[in-house]
Chain A
Amino acid sequence: KAGVTQTPRYLIKTRGQQVTLSCSPISGHRSVSWYQQTPGQGLQFLFEYFSETQRNKGNFPGRFSGRQFSNSRSEMNVSTLELGDSALYLCASSYRGGQDEQYFGPGTRLTVT
Chain B
Amino acid sequence: AQTVTQSQPEMSVQEAETVTLSCTYDTSESDYYLFWYKQPPSRQMILVIRQEAYKQQNATENRFSVNFQKAAKSFSLKISDSQLGDAAMYFCAYRSWGSARQLTFGSGTQLTVLP
Q: List residues of chain A with CB under 8 Å of any chain B CB.
A: 31, 33, 35, 42-43, 45, 48, 55-56, 58, 88, 90, 92, 97-99, 101-107, 109
Task: Please indicate the chain B residues that have their CB under 8 angstroms from the CB of A48 in the complex.
Answer: 101-102
- Cβ-closest chain B residue relative to A46: B102
- Cβ-closest chain A residue relative to B97: A99
Q: How far is the CA of A107 from the CA of B43 in the complex (A)?
A: 7
Q: How far is the CA of A97 from the CA of B44 in the complex (A)?
A: 19
Taking chain B's interface residues, is the majority helix, strand, or loop, or is none over half, making it mixed? loop
- Cβ-closest chain A residue relative to B46: A104
From known contacts A42-B107, A43-B91, A101-B50, infer whether A58 and B102 are also in contact, taking CB-CB under 8 Å.
yes
Q: Does B11 contact A (CB under 8 A)?
A: no
Task: Please indicate the chain B residues that have their CB under 8 angstroms from the CB of A88 in the complex.
Answer: 43
Q: How far is the CA of A92 from the CA of B103 in the complex (A)?
A: 10
Asked if B105 and A43 make an inter-chain contact with CB atoms under 8 angstroms apart, the answer reads yes
Task: Please indicate the chain B residues that have their CB under 8 angstroms from the CB of A90 in the complex.
Answer: 45
Asked if A98 and B101 make an inter-chain contact with CB atoms under 8 angstroms apart, the answer reads yes
Task: Please indicate the chain A residues that have their CB under 8 angstroms from the CB of B102 in the complex.
Answer: 33, 45, 48, 56, 58
In angstroms, how far is the closest chain A Cβ from the Cβ of B32?
11
Q: How far is the CA of A101 from the CA of B93 in the complex (A)?
A: 12
Knowing that A33-B101, A99-B97 touch, tell me 6 more A-B residue pairs with CB under 8 angstroms.
A31-B101, A45-B103, A48-B101, A48-B102, A55-B101, A58-B102
> Contact flags (1/0) for B28-62 with A, using CB distance below 8 Å?
00000100010000111111001000000000000
In angstroms, how far is the closest chain B Cβ from the Cβ of A97?
5
